[in-house]
Amino acid sequence: MIHPPETGTVGLSWRAYLAIAPVIIVAVALHMAVFYVLESFNLPLVIVALIDSAITALVAFAAHNYVVTGGARRGFRALKSDHSRAFFSFLVLSIGVVLAMHGFGWFVDTAIAPMLAPADTSQVEFPSSSSVALSFGIAILFVVAVFVIIGGFGTMFPAIVDGGDTSPGMAWRRGVKGPIVYRLIGAALITSVIGLVISALLLALLGGDSMHFSINLDHVFSTPRGIILAATNMLLTFYMTTLVATILSKAYLGSYTTKDA
């Protein structure tokens, strides 16, 4: 294992993003091609999410490799590992996270949502204050749980890449030593701000309004505008992936235990 990188987290994430740009370009193209095919088959959302997680894992694996090797692996070299079956293990863990999140969503849809729905659906009613509070509380609980779980156990990902200790216990000890959670929250805020700025620019250049800015899989490839929006959305998603990978890799390398990086 190398010494922790001295570059700040955000700066290092941009360096990693540019260094693995060939991987990101291929991932965006692969994502677009796969979803073009999936549109014709109308596959279940969980299948789409699993395929998407595999593509995202490709970018995350490259980003972790760049950081833990001190920038020695760039481009497609960042997909290599000195440890056999590293990417397979990385992919399995990534898919496990996706399945767990969809499992929680299924629980909310089947156990929580029916309690919030009105008994008589023929009438349009405003939800009660208790229903709104419960929905809001569940959403907050879910977001906090995601940040805590990723912060507590996320260093398993760079450990897989580096061939280090991948046990959940060690990952938790690494996670609680450094304040990873608030950095992950900061990463979400940074990418949200970047997304809002880019969204405003695209709306000004391409025309339209915010109501039609969201990506709809049924119409992504119907117009050049839809393709541009979808590709931009994936580029932002992959920067978020790179930034999170940078945070977890630096935590794995011990950067946040010695200084406020």
CB neighbours of residue 167 within 10 Å = 11
Task: Please tell me the predicted confidence (pLDDT) of residue 27.
Answer: 93
- pLDDT tens, N- to C-terminus, the chain (261 residues): 444 455 688 888 899 999 999 999 999 998 888 877 776 677 777 777 788 888 889 999 999 999 998 888 888 888 877 776 788 888 888 888 777 776 766 666 676 656 555 555 555 455 555 666 666 666 677 777 777 788 888 889 999 988 888 888 888 888 765 578 888 888 888 888 888 888 788 777 776 554 444 444 455 566 777 778 778 888 988 999 999 999 999 888 887 765 444
Closest Cα to residue 254, out of 142, 151, 137, 175? 175
Residue-level pLDDT at 210: 46
What pLDDT sits at residue 238?
Answer: 92
Structure tokens at 211: 């109501």
Report the distance separating Cα 248 and Cα 242, nearest Å: 10
**pLDDT reported for residue 4:** 46
Note whether 161 and 86 are within 8 A (CB). Answer: yes
The whole-number pLDDT of residue 80 equals 77
